[in-house]
Structure formats: structure tokens, C-alpha cells
Amino acid sequence: PHGFCETLEKGHGRLEIRRCYVFDELACLAHPERWPDLGCFAVIESERHLQGKVSHERRYYISSLAPDAERLASAIRQHWGIENRVHGCLDVVFADDQMRARTAHAAHNLATLKRLTLNLLRLDPSQRKGSLKTRRLIANTSDEYRAELLGLK
């Protein structure tokens, strides 16, 4: 590998070791010419220890970035942070993966409204306790709470 880095993360009752291997020898890929700006490819190995069990996962990435293992590992981690913070929340709070809006601009419009609602719940001025899903359900049934979220009260 051209580069290697390893990170260790503890939290939520688990230990996770991530190893990033970065390669700049692109000729070993099948048809690298299909990606004219390709700068490197990477392999992320995750080893997760949770409740006495160990799981392993390997993910592969291609990138236009220079082959810098620390930078690439950070970029990949940031991407998944966004995925977990936004898309994961949308699925938990609104069952977004179950949405079946398929006509015209319905899916895009609903996604915009859901993100707006999620942000309103996160910025709740009353700092009401409870999960985002719980607060969404309360806002659904309480005119007073909905008015607080919208800044009308």
C-alpha cells in the first residue's frame, strides 16, 4: 500500500478499530480509464468488539484525492457521519426508507419538508426531552408545541 493509518474508537459500549490502506497503483484495477480523475483506491477494514463478539467488515473506495491514508480515512468517516446524522435520522424519525412517493416531484418535495421538520425539531427552543421521533409525534398532535417549533409562540 501507498499509505496506511489506523484509528481506535471507543464508545457506546463498543471498541472499533479502523485500518485504512491506500493504493496508487491503478493499473491493477479493471478498466481504470473509466475514471479519468482517479487518484487512488482504498480499503477500509473495520474490526468491532461488542459484548464479547468481534465482527469484521471490509469496504472499498475509489477517489480522486491524492493517496493520503489519513486524509482519505477522515473524508470517509465524515461522509458516514453525515449519513448517520441526516439520513439515518430521517429513516428513524419519518420511516424514510419506507416512503413510496413516486410521482412527479413528490419524493423531492417530501424529502425537503422532512429535512425542514427535522431541523425544526433539533432547534426546539423549549429543549423538550425525548427523542426526535417522540417530539415529532407530539408536534403532530399538539397545536401549542407546533407553534413553539415554528416560533409563533
* Residue that wins the pLDDT comparison between 40 and 2: 40
**Per-residue pLDDT reduced to its tens digit, 90-109:** 888 888 878 888 788 998 89
b/e map of 48-80 (b: 16 or more CB within 10 Å)? eeeeeeeeeeeeebebebebbbebbbeebeeee
The single residue listed with the C-alpha cell 399538539 is 142
**Cell numbers of 135, please?**
417530539
**Per-residue pLDDT reduced to its tens digit, 128-142:** 888 999 999 999 999
Tell me how many degrees the CA angle 77-55-72 measures, rounded to the nearest 5.
20
pLDDT for the residue numbered 1: 58
Can you tell me the distance from the alpha carbon of 61 to that of 43, in angstroms, rounded to the nearest whole number?
6
Q: DSSP secondary structure string, 32-57?
A: GGGSTT--EEEEEEEEEEETTEEEEE
